[in-house]
Structure 1
């Protein structure tokens, strides 16, 4: 029986056990199932967050995300969403602490047990995510000309910088004939690298090592024409630098393939709707169904969806009436045959229309000048940043804008023309305000225009030999030969009878001796030549006597022979010699209107004959060659680290307008240069002249008092030995004529300077408007009074600065007096006072007298203004005080001055009618800002910042606590920002008895003011109210 029962029991028990086992597990293992599910779900949630982060970082690093990763993220998200209800049920039971029914426990356990393995499987397969993110180090962007590749690449770079996706973002243009050294310089500048090697290979190695030290780099290579080894520039990527990503743009897809781009993106033309939206925006058209818009849509369609064409045409037609749009549309239809020219990608018609419209709005005399200016820009190399200064001198040389009589007027006209070309889309802006650029497609169009006709031109780059087709040169009016091989053998004579402009540019060679050699007779048959631009050329000027029409000669890095004796008969007006050695400047240059001379050679000798009078010049010796907006309009001399005699420049000092001296060896300027000089100087700038102690010597009256009489702006920086502006005392004890026109003074880092303006000088500085002083640790007085006490003791007339608007003094540790001898009536124009970190300050302006008629002078500054001074500051706009430790109040209270000085005027209310901003910081002893028996009128106050003044108790302090019957309401109608921060002693902002209303307040910051009793509230009109309860 047992043998039968046992097998039977087994047959029944096994199925029951198989069925009952999970049931009992769901019931009895509920807590463990819940815990397993919760742990696994939380792990999945965290893992998904990490994968999301990895994917985001990968996308920022331009890496490819495989579909497997995207699929895993979708499934993980789905599981987390589906199980959220289960997690909510678990949390609900825990929160309410109730015991669920057995059936509910079983059902929930079963659901959790089914989901847990699925979640576990997702966790197991998540490890593949990092391996499934493929590293991409190069992306290629290709498309036809004018489609917007460069614009898109720039936007990518801008976005990467703004979002800080990379540590460095670098962009450069390759062109068809890339200049490797120039590109290396551009990239090195971004990394702060100064090359030690002079060879391209050595520089590439230095750049390679420098870039490897930066973790994440984006390099944008624009306009690549063929396969190129970026390592030859010095750019590491791939295995050499996995954090360096390359984005390249090109016209040709095969370039992307040859460069092994992991991802290739084609940038196509715009759709019809996209093109119309862009066109309408550029042309300034309204979004309506007018007849004009219907015609404009047809014109937009003729642009073929190309952004470049849309931009130039829309800008050209902006502001036209309906007839103008119809005429333009017809011109498009009549010129469709031009679009067959393949090289311009179908944009020729659009560019031709924009070019023709340059004449519109100009008078008849100058209708072609803007077009000629455009063609002149096309002579420069592809994608070159064209210096505006060179464009101007060349434009003047070829006779642009002949109706402008003076060189300054011509410069302005050409500047306006360049701006108009930029607005028309035919020229592009660059990051440098002193340069412009021409799109390569627009340049191709310009060359198409000048391939025939009266303005025929030729532009060649990297010429290896002289063309054997001299006869074809006869019709050219402009020729530009760039980066010519130094081995070229130039002919002795070439008959270019119609040539007006010649650019001749030798290639740069690592050994530095590869100059183009041109014979002395090469230029003889160029009778019509007006502009000659030469760089890295060795030549003689013997044949220049035949160039009777030459107006502009620009020589850069050249070697000139027979310079002084070869310019007698020519009518040269503009001469620029940049790092070009000459024997002397000839007095035969009687027609010379502008001289531009720059030499980095600190030991060069120069001679300027006294007979040579140049109305405008810009001479830079020993420093870098800078361009400035005011070039051609001033007389400027800059000397840096110059070790030779000043005698060469003696004649220039008589009429120099702007003078800049860096690291110059003189102790006193005027005494070494001579008498009656620098009387036309307007803007001297002195930097790091370590030996200089004074600017002028006033111990003798003979002519020296006129020095600096036209001075308007004075800048002095880093003069470690400077003791004062003038040496000695005037023997006649009279006012000094020097500095009488001075308007702006900037003095910084002059540790030995104790007084800026002596009394003799101070009485003449009536025109001074702005005064900036910083980091002068030895400075004790700005306007002095102690040095000439015996001269001034009987002179009751005080100094006056009636035009002083801005007073800005920072970090002068020994400063005691600012305008101690200046009357309050003499400061009626003061708009801004900023004083910071002047711990020894005793007095700023002339104070009231005490009962004995003596000046009130305290050991260290306790207040900024007296009531009388404050009343005279009607123009004060900005008051900024920081780090004046001893100040107790800004304005002296009436009861603290003598009765003699506090007459009826002394009891008149004080107001600051133009004060808009008050900032008071780090004044450790400041107890109140405005200690009056009333609140001063501040009708224009926009910002009040009071911060880290640890003893400040009241902003507006009343002399006596009032017995409040009716609160006085006061409005601050313009106050937008109020900041009260770190004021541990502040009791109230608005005094008792006053109710402040702030209707325009936008920002209120009150932090760490534990004793503050003033309450702030907002009414239904959103006005802020301030009240301190009695």
Structure 2
């Protein structure tokens, strides 16, 4: 045993490795000049390849809008690095070549020359390798489609709540289609832009597509925009159906949100190739339109159709200030106040606020602003010609898209009424009929139905708005200005409109002979002394003035006049006999005038179809045979007329075309005479008043039930009249199926009004000063009559309930009712009424307003605490 060991080493491998190393190091020096020459050539070739490749990439990116391939980008990046490194080495090469000696086989500084030579050799190989990889058949491809493209959008004012409303709707799984509608220029496209950009800025899994549906070829245009957005080539398509098939095959695999701007009629998604949104596919369609009816056709669920309203005053002023400039508003202390008046004239329409704001930015003094306001109240186009050209054509597109000239003429007619003036629907339609704007109908009711259809269409087109009541409409101020601008530009529709501008004298015009419609409504004109030569005039509105005198010859040169409105001139005591010259007159409105008698010369009005004498409280005499001489009369309105109606009832029998009658009965004999002619009057009476009724102490209400078209009934000051429901006739009695309005005033014999259960469509019920009324509907009487024809779904259409000064009133009805349409209850002077017929299900989904005294409200009894709390926000205090 020992610690001895032996080592056996071979020297050959070590010697070989040292030799290889020595010769390798020497080769970097010996081959330096040759390598440098090859290096420079290879680098130049690499630069040329890079230059050619960059040219291809630029063309693809800039001209073809493609995205360079990642591998091309990587190659160019590596080439850039190598070329930079190579250029640095080439710059350093002369100093290393100078160090060579012994024919280039040695160096005076071998270590540094060896290191440099090794760098050249290494990069040379990299350059060669990179050159080999620089041959690309494709350098770019279509870029990946982003989920949403950002759209340019101006800062919004007043749209934030709508953005939130639409976005909230989008989050609901059951909502697939959302409609956004409203007046032209109200901000619908801006709102849709905001929704698009919210998609862009939010994490989601939708593929967002924006498309504009124009009136010209809407489906093809939308298809083209969808195809572009989802990366489809439109080459080779020959038909809508082929496009639809390709689009459908792509979209059915995606969760998409299609934003459709500015559609004018129902857009057929299926025909365009768009899969219908369902809870299963999770897709959405959001569209904008100016037409409410398009919303309903696209999306019948009204909760998912959002109307964009004009801005409230505060927001409107903020937007106006942005456009006019705060510096301008601070130029003078009075300008800011004047600016509020300008904003009022724009009536909250963003388009008007923006355009007029820009136009007024240069006005720096109060007189300029005062003048602008004065003229704005007549027409924006007259003070700012540029404004008319910029704003009205954008709004006029809604007018151009109306179905035909009849609709357009009916729309323009509405501009005759003063600014902000509620227009009664029936009154408007009767004027349209009088001027011959509607189709010829054998039946007046059919003509009226057509008129109401046109009104509905104008509301759907957002060219008219719903008025303060269901029976009225109104026209937005800017839309009215547009209508007057259109009429001013038209060859056929020449208007002279100075309504509601505080005129005190008869105005003048240059070319009366061209005018077809004149409106001087709602002024302070006292006399008409100058003759107007208007051979083409068809409508003349003179209502709501202070007229006292109209000269006899005033109407001499109006042979074509068909509609004349002199209503609400209470100082007009005498009607000029010259009115007999109006041989074409069909519509004459004398309501609420102070006229004491009708001239017998009116018999010359052989074409008269409409005569309104309502609330002529001083009319004492109607010449015999005058009414019957109007053989074409269709509408006779005499409600509130002070003349004894029995004198004309006999004559009415001869009016074979009479369709509409309104009348006041002041005695049992007058009513009996009408009931004798029941077959004739049952189809004509629309409004009836029983006032200070004499000659009877009782009335069987079902004597009136067979007046088939009775819309309103007023019992006024019938102190001793007892209204009965006689059980022996109830089974065969008719039903008040047309009654919408009931007013009971000072009827002291009434204990209840249970017969209203026979008026299933009643919308307004007003009861005032009936001292002995204890309940509206008696449960006991209800039980007696429900087995007959009564409406068991009580007050299902009631919108307004007013109860005033009913000292014995204890209950409206003893049980809670649903009141699905109720909007307002007003209770004053009913101290014994301690409970309302409401529970937690009443007026569900409606914002009910309850008006009364604070003391009365605090004493009310409720079905439970939950109901009390639920209706707490509904109360509005009204002190007597």
Structures share fold, TM-score greater than 0.5: no
Larger relative contact order (Cα-Cα within 8 Å, sequence gap ≥ 6): 2
Q: Which protein has the bigger helix share?
A: 2
Give TM class, smaller chain: 0.3 to 0.5
